[in-house]
């Protein structure tokens, strides 16, 4: 019999858990084990409508305490912690009255361990203060030992769950350190690696823990830490496998199939910036591309998340984070045309609804990574023409709320720049013409910008209009309008006073040369003028007694920073001349 290779073992990681009936479990509790599969499906697919429907079914009929425990579990996964706590509180008392001690104990355990977070509602915060007091007053050990001896023996397996979960969390941290050490050895040595069973241990502990959370309907704040560690272990194994393939001279694209529980853990338990960092850390230099199992509906998952992402706040919401995480993970997944288009259409809807404010970086990450996959040997080739919907939805919003959407250009400049670059390349290949509505939007944008302060005009020219110009090449009227606007900005900023003004003007000159509005002579003239002015210059350190010293030091730091940027920009220009 052929021995199972590392790759096959890798793909078996986080395999579907067999839900065997726990030993000594009471008859009433066995019903939960049989319903685990349906619960897992709802939660792993972020199917909030199915969860709400199930909660309604339980609420509308005279339900058992077991069903009420299931209801609390679903409320928690819907992000309704207060309602979950209230349900558990009532259910624990009812279960005790009915002498259903297994459900009673789990209800108490969940009340004690449920994460409750303060929000902006004074009414809810007052409830939370009361619930926190009740929560910390729960003594699980004392409650357990109040039971008759024979009941304690029957419930011993439930009492040990908390200890098991805490132990598994410690094991997860230890295994992550071992997995990272394995990866370090593989990355730094050409010698053969001594295989160990770290992967099998990780596989086992993940299965066991996930089974306990779902089979017993456990709510525990530590689950976030646990599944975050396990996901990073999974990433480490992926990276190790890629190194193995490279040593076999396999430089082709390496597909890795994600399972539903993996996707869930990645989306649910990571901060967006950390997820982006981890994916880059483990896979940036690899040929790995993720795929999903055939029965996973990626579009359905994104629609489910999107349906709950209906408002924004100064702080990130659970659903805005899930929305961004989906985009970041999907950046690494091999998509077909329909899935790619559906994701872009949902992003466009969120722009139109004014909801994408803090998600532009994630959307830009998704678009850029998918574009870069064209350079890899992927089987499916995506057409990117649909990206014009994102661009023109953004332009429409920019003209409607200029100051608000200008902030997005300032905070996430790479998103629109990369999107415009892709559309430029696509335009070169397919010779696309803009429709009348798109032309009108650009003309309206130019008219709006002309009424703004000079420094704002230069900024938006550098970070949007210059890259918009090549897209208009097949529409002469709007093309000439954009060109005329840029030349006017460039001409009227000949006389400048500050380093910042010189920096922005040089960047505008470089951009206009890049898009062939300025010729080489004019480009070099400005470059040489500013090179002579700044290459051997230091910022003047002048202090006076009339201005507070901290204000003078701040201004000095700003000048030094601007000079550093100017010198870096001059160096880039000089290098580009050498290449020519």
Q: Is the pLDDT of residue 32 over 50?
A: no
Residue from 12, 534, 504 nearest 237 by CA: 12
Query: Scanning the structure block, which residue is given the tokens 């992967």?
Result: 199
Residue (of 322, 334, 316, 323) closest to 370 by Cα position: 334
Q: Residue 254's beta-bridge partner residues?
A: 288
Can you tell me which residue has the tokens 């002309």? 450
Asked if residue 26 lies in contact with residue 253, where contact means CB atoms within 8 angstroms, the answer is: no
Whether 441 shows a pLDDT value over 60: the answer reads yes
Question: What whole-number percentage of the chain has pLDDT above 90?
Answer: 48
Question: What's residue 366's pLDDT?
Answer: 96
What is the four-CA torsion angle of 515, 521, 526, 529, rounded to 10 degrees? 160
Grade residue 308 by pLDDT with cuts at 50, 70 and 90. Answer: very high
Beta bridge partners of 292: 258
pLDDT of residue 251: 74
Instruction: Name the percent of the chain lying above pLDDT 70.
Output: 84
Please give the residue that has the higher pLDDT: either 193 or 43. Answer: 43
186 falls in which pLDDT band (50, 70, 90)?
confident
Q: Is 354 left (phi over 0), alpha (psi -120 to 50) or beta?
A: left
Q: Which of 286, 379, 302 has its CA nearest to residue 335?
A: 379
Find how far residue 50's CA is from the centre of its chain.
24
Measure Cα distances from 186 to 200, 236, 254, 265, 485 in Å. Answer: 18, 11, 18, 26, 56
pLDDT over 50 at 26, yes or no: no
- pLDDT, residue 255, reads 87
Across residues 254-261, what is the average pLDDT? 91
The position carrying tokens 């359905």 is 300
CA angle (19 as vertex; 14, 23 as ends), nearest 5: 125
- Taking only the tens place, the pLDDT of each residue in 554-571 is 555 556 667 778 788 888
For the CA atoms of 546, 547, 549, 552, what is the dihedral angle to 10 degrees? -130
DSSP string, 19-54: -PPPTT--TTTHHHHHHHHHHHHHHHTT-HHHHHHH
Q: Please state, as a whole number, how many other Cβ atoms lie within 10 Å of the Cβ of residue 475.
A: 19
How much is the pLDDT for 514? 92
CA angle 418, 231, 209 (to 5 degrees): 150
Whole-angstrom distance, CA of residue 406 vs CA of residue 312: 18
Distance of alpha carbon 405 from alpha carbon 398, whole angstroms: 5
For CA atoms 561, 563, 564, 568, the dihedral sign is: positive
User: What integer pLDDT is reported at residue 555 of this predicted model?
Assistant: 58
φ and ψ of 290, to 5 deg: -85, 145
Q: How confident is the model at residue 431 (pLDDT cuts 50, 70, 90)?
A: confident
Going by C-alpha positions, the residue among 143, 247, 242, 144 that lies closest to residue 189 is: 247
Answer whether residue 548 shows pLDDT above 90.
Answer: no
**β 288-292/254-258 pair status:** parallel
Reduce the DSSP state of residue 256 to 3 states and report it.
strand
Q: What are phi and psi of 114, to 5 degrees?
A: -65, 130
- Tokens matching residue 82: 């207060």
Helix-strand-coil split of the chain, %, nearest 5: 70, 0, 25
pLDDT of the residue at 456: 93
User: Residue 257 pairs with which residues in a beta bridge?
Assistant: 291
Lowest mean pLDDT among 22-31, 96-105, 368-377: 22-31
C-alpha count within 13 angstroms, C-beta hemisphere, residue 311: 3
Task: Give the pLDDT of residue 399.
Answer: 93
Global pTM reads: 0.85
Q: Which of 271, 192, 182, 259 is nearest to 224 (CA)?
A: 271
Q: What is the pLDDT of residues 383-426, one digit of tens each?
A: 898 999 999 999 999 999 988 888 888 888 889 889 999 998 88
Q: Band of the pLDDT at 30, cuts 50, 70, 90?
A: very low
Q: For 472-498, write each residue's pLDDT tens digit.
A: 988 999 999 999 999 999 999 988 888
- CA-nearest of 228, 234, 227 to 213 is 227
Closest to 443 (Cα-Cα) out of 395, 488, 397, 499? 395
- Angstrom distance (rounded) from CA 438 to CA 399: 13
Distance CA 390, CA 176 (A): 40
The pLDDT score that the predictor gives to residue 335 is 93
Specify the DSSP class assigned to residue 290: E
DSSP at 153: H
Helix (H, G, I), strand (E, B) or coil at 297: coil
Mean pLDDT of 214-232: 91
Tokens read off for 63 = 């339900």
């Amino acid at each position: 019999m052929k021995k199972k290779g590392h790759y096959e073992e890798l793909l078996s990681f986080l395999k579907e858990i067999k839900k065997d009936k726990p030993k000594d479990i009471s008859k009433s509790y066995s019903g939960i084990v049989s319903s685990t599969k349906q619960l897992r499906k709802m939660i792993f697919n972020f199917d909030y409508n199915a969860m709400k429907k199930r909660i309604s079914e339980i609420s509308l009929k005279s339900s058992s305490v077991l069903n009420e425990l299931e209801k609390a579990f679903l409320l928690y996964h819907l992000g309704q912690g207060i309602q979950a706590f209230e349900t558990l509180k009532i259910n624990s008392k009812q279960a005790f009255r009915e002498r259903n001690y297994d459900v009673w104990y789990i209800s108490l355990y969940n009340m004690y361990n449920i994460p409750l977070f303060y929000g902006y509602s004074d009414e809810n915060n007052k409830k939370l203060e009361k619930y926190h007091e009740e929560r910390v007053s729960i003594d699980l050990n004392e409650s357990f030992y109040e039971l008759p001896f024979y009941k304690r023996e029957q419930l011993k397996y439930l009492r040990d769950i908390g200890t098991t979960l805490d132990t598994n969390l410690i094991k997860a941290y230890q295994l992550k350190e071992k997995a990272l050490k394995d990866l370090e050895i593989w990355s730094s040595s050409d010698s053969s690696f001594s295989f160990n069973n770290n992967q099998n241990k990780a596989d086992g502990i993940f299965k066991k823990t996930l089974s306990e959370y779902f089979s017993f309907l456990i709510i525990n704040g530590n689950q976030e830490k646990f599944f975050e560690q396990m996901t990073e272990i999974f990433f480490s194994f992926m990276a190790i496998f890629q190194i193995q393939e490279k040593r076999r001279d396999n430089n082709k694209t390496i597909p890795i199939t994600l399972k539903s529980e993996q996707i869930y853990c990645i989306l649910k338990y990571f901060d967006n910036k950390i997820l982006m960092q981890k994916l880059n850390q483990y896979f940036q230099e690899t040929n790995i591309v993720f795929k999903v199992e055939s029965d996973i509906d990626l579009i359905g998952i994104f629609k489910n998340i999107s349906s709950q992402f209906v408002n924004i706040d100064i702080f990130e919401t659970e659903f805005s984070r899930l929305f961004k995480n989906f985009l970041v993970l999907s950046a690494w997944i091999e998509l077909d045309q329909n899935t790619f288009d559906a994701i872009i259409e949902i992003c466009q809807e969120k722009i139109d609804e004014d909801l994408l404010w803090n998600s532009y970086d994630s959307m830009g990450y998704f678009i850029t990574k998918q574009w870069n996959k064209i350079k890899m040997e992927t089987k499916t080739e995506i057409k990117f023409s649909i990206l014009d919907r994102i661009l023109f939805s953004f332009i429409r919003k920019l003209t409607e709320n200029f100051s608000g959407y200008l902030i997005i250009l300032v905070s996430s400049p790479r998103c629109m720049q990369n999107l415009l670059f892709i559309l430029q390349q696509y335009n070169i290949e397919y010779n696309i013409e803009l429709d009348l509505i798109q032309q009108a939007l650009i003309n309206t944008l130019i008219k709006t910008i002309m009424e703004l302060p000079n420094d704002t005009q230069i900024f938006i020219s550098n970070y949007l209009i210059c890259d918009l110009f090549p897209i208009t090449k097949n529409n002469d009227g709007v093309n000439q309008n954009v060109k005329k606007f840029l030349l006017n900005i460039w001409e009227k900023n000949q006389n400048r006073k500050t380093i910042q003004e010189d920096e922005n003007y040089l960047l505008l000159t470089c951009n206009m040369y890049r898009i062939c509005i300025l010729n080489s002579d004019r480009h070099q003239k400005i470059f040489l003028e500013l090179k002579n002015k700044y290459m051997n210059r230091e910022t003047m350190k002048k202090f006076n007694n009339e201005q507070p010293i901290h204000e003078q030091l701040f201004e000095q730091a700003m000048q030094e920073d601007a000079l550093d940027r100017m010198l870096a920009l001059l160096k880039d220009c000089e290098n580009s001349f050498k290449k020519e």
